[in-house]
C-alpha cells in the first residue's frame, strides 16, 4: 500500500520510521518532510497547510492511507477534504480537531461532563482580563485559546507576571489570532503526565504513558517550549489511576464530542497534572505529541498501520498492542535562543556516528538538506531517542549519541527524566 505522512517535524520522522517497518507498505511519502524523513520516505514539496495540494497529490499517486501529523493541518480540515474524494486518512476531522484548536471549546466540554480540570475564566477583552488578574493573589496560568505551537501557555508565579503575559498575548499579539481570547487558570501543582489513546469513535485504547518536559531550562525552569524531551513509561500513574483517567477523562470527553455530533477518530492526547486531589486535565491534543511520539513508538512492537486502519474502520476492539517493557527516552537538541529568536542554516555533523550508538535513533525535527550537508531549519532540531534496560542507561545512550553531534549553539537539557531517575535511585 502507498502511505503519505503529512508534516515536517520529529513526530513525522518517528512516524515514518515506524510505518516503514510495516510489511504492508510498498511506497512511503512525506509532505513536506525534513532531512530525516528523506531517509525513510520520499519527501514531497507540498506544505502541510496546502490542503488542496495535498489532496491533489493523494489522488494523483493513488495514496491508500494519509497519516496527518500536525494539529494545524487537522484543524484546517485535511481529513474532511480527503474523505470527500474517497481517500482514507488517520486523524480526526475538522470538528474533532477543534478539541485542540479551541481551548475554550475544550474547557466548555470538560465542564459539561465534570471532567477534572483547573478552575478557569475566559476573556476576550484585555481590559477585563487585566482587571481579573490584578485581583488575584496566587499563581495562575495564562493560555492563548488558539494554536500556538505548544508555547501559548504561560505559567505565572506572580500576578505581575500574569499581567505581562496578557500583554504579550493580547496586546503584542505574539501568537497572532490564537490570542484573540485567553484563559486564566489556577496553577495546578504536581507531576505532569501525557496519556495518549487511539480512538475509533466508540472504542478507546490507551497507549503506554509518557512524560514531556516543556520548560527550556533544567529543573523545569524558564519559558515553555514545544517540548525538550520525554520518556516512557512513567512511574506514575499506576494501573488504578490509569483506569480512573480512562473512565473520568477519556470516555467522558469522547461522549461529550459525540453529543455535539462529532465522531472522534484518531489520537486523543490528554495532558494531565497529577495533583494531590487526583489527575486533572491541562489540555487535550488531537494528534501524536512531539516529543512523546519518539519514545512511545520506539517501545511499540505492533504494526502501527494495522492499528491506524482499525481506527478508521471502527474495529479498534479487535486490536491488541504489544509493547517493549524497557524504558525509552528522547532528548531534544535545540537551536541556541529557542524558544525565542534563533538562527537557522547551521551545518550539522556527527549524525552517522550518533546513529551507531546501540538502540538509538536520531529523529530529525528542524532540519533540511542543502547539497550533501544537513543544516538546522528550526528551533527544535533533533530528537535523540534511545531504549535500554533502565531509564539511566537510556539517558546515557542519548547523551553518548549527542556527544557525536555538533552544530553552532546547540542546546539540550541534560536532566530529561530527572524526576523518575531521582526516585529510582533513592
Note down pLDDT in tens along the chain; length 426 residues: 999 999 999 999 999 999 999 999 999 999 999 999 999 999 999 999 999 999 999 999 999 999 999 999 999 999 999 999 999 999 999 999 999 999 999 999 999 999 999 999 999 999 999 999 999 888 999 999 998 877 788 999 888 899 999 999 999 999 999 999 999 999 999 988 999 999 999 999 999 999 999 999 999 999 889 999 999 999 888 899 999 999 999 999 999 999 999 999 999 999 999 999 999 999 999 999 999 999 999 999 999 999 999 999 999 999 999 999 999 999 999 999 999 999 999 999 999 999 999 999 999 999 999 999 999 999 999 999 999 999 999 999 999 999 999 999 999 999 999 988 876 554
- Write the DSSP string, 132-151: HHHT--S-EEEEESS--TT-
How many CB atoms neighbour CB 219 within 10 A? 9
Give the angle subtended at the CA of 29 by the CAs of 24 and 30, to the nearest 5°.
130
DSSP letter for 75, please: H
Q: What three-state secondary structure class fits 286?
A: coil
* Maximum alpha-carbon separation in the chain: 61
Which pLDDT score, from 0 to 100, does residue 17 have?
98
Question: Of 257, 316, 205, 329, nearest to 95 (Cα)?
Answer: 257
User: What pLDDT shows up at residue 424?
Assistant: 57
Which cell is 104 given? 475554550
Helix, strand and coil in the chain, % to nearest 5: 35, 30, 40
* Domains located in the chain, CATH noted: 2-93 (3.40.50.20), 125-180 (3.30.1490), 192-318 (3.30.470.20), 328-424 (3.90.600.10)
- Cα–Cα nearest to 401, from 298, 339, 331, 345: 331
For strands 2-7 and 65-68, give the pairing: parallel
| CA 379 vs CA 57, 108, 175, 304: distances in Å | 29, 33, 16, 28
CB atoms within 10 A of CB 97: 29
Pick from 31, 72, 23: nearest CA to 54: 31
Predicted pLDDT of residue 137 = 85
pLDDT at position 149: 76
User: pTM of this prediction?
Assistant: 0.93
pLDDT computed for residue 425 by the predictor? 56
Q: Encode burial over 341-377: b for 16+ CB neighbours within 10 A, e otherwise.
A: ebeeebebeebeebeebebbbbbbbbbbeeeeebbbb
Q: What is the pLDDT of residue 235?
A: 86
423, 392 in Cβ contact below 8 A? no
- Closest residue by Cα to residue 303 from 40, 69, 18: 18
Beta strands across the sheet bearing 278-285: 204-206, 192-200, 265-275, 278-285
Which residues touch 56 (CB under 8 Å, ≥6 apart)?
Answer: none
Whether the CB-CB separation of 42 and 20 falls below 8 Å is answered with no
CB atoms within 10 A of CB 426: 5
CA nearest 132: which of 94, 102, 163, 87? 163
Amino acid at each position: 500500500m502507498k502511505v503519505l505522512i503529512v508534516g515536517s517535524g520529529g513526530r513525522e520522522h518517528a512516524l515514518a520510521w515506524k510505518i516503514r517497518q510495516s510489511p504492508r507498505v510498498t511506497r512511503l511519502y512525506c509532505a513536506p518532510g525534513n532531512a530525516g524523513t528523506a531517509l525513510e520516505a520520499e519527501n514531497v514539496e507540498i506544505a502541510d497547510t496546502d490542503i488542496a495540494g495535498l489532496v491533489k497529490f493523494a489522488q494523483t499517486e493513488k495514496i491508500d492511507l494519509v497519516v496527518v501529523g500536525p494539529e494545524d493541518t487537522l484543524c484546517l480540515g485535511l481529513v474532511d477534504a480527503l474523505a470527500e474524494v474517497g481517500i482514507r486518512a488517520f486523524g480526526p476531522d475538522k470538528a474533532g480537531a477543534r478539541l485542540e484548536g479551541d481551548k475554550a471549546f475544550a474547557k466548555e466540554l470538560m465542564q459539561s461532563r465534570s471532567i477534572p480540570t483547573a478552575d478557569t475564566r475566559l476573556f476576550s477583552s484585555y481590559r477585563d482580563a487585566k482587571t481579573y488578574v490584578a485581583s488575584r493573589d496566587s499563581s495562575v496560568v495564562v493560555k492563548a485559546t488558539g494554536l500556538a505551537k505548544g508555547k501559548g501557555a504561560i505559567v505565572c508565579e506572580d500576578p505581575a507576571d500574569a499581567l505581562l503575559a496578557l500583554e504579550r498575548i493580547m496586546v503584542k499579539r505574539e501568537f497572532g489570532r490564537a490570542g484573540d481570547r485567553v484563559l486564566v487558570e489556577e496553577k495546578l501543582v504536581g507531576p505532569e503526565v501525557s496519556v495518549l489513546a487511539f480512538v475509533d469513535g466508540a472504542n478507546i485504547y490507551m497507549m503506554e504513558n509518557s512524560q514531556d518536559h516543556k520548560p527550556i531550562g533544567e529543573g523545569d525552569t524558564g519559558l515553555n517550549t514545544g517540548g525538550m524531551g520525554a520518556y516512557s513509561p512513567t512511574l506514575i500513574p499506576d494501573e488504578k489511576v490509569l483506569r480512573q483517567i480512562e473512565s473520568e477523562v477519556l470516555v467522558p470527553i469522547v461522549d461529550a464530542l459525540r453529543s455535539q455530533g462529532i465522531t472522534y477518530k484518531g489520537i486523543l492526547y490528554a495532558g494531565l497534572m497529577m495533583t494531590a486531589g487526583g489527575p486533572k486535565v491541562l489540555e487535550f491534543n488531537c494528534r501524536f505529541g512531539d516529543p512523546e511520539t519518539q519514545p512511545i513508538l520506539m517501545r511499540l512492537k505492533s504494526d502501527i498501520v494495522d492499528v491506524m486502519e482499525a481506527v478508521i474502520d471502527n474495529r479498534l476492539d479487535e486490536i491488541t498492542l504489544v509493547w517493549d517493557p524497557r524504558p525509552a527516552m528522547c532528548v531534544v537538541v535545540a537551536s541556541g535562543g529557542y524558544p525565542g529568536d534563533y538562527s537557522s542554516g547551521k551545518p550539522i555533523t556527527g549524525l552517522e556516528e550518533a546513529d551507531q550508538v546501540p538502540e538509538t535513533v536520531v529523529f530529525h525535527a528542524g532540519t533540511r538538506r542543502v547539497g550533501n550537508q544537513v543544516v538546522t531549519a528550526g528551533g527544535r532540531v533533533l530528537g535523540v531517542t534511545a531504549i535500554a534496560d533502565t531509564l539511566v542507561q537510556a539517558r546515557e545512550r542519548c547523551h553518548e549519541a549527542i556527544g557525536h553531534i555538533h552544530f553552532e549553539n546547540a542546546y539540550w537539557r541534560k536532566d530529561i527524566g530527572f524526576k523518575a531517575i531521582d526516585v529510582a535511585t533513592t
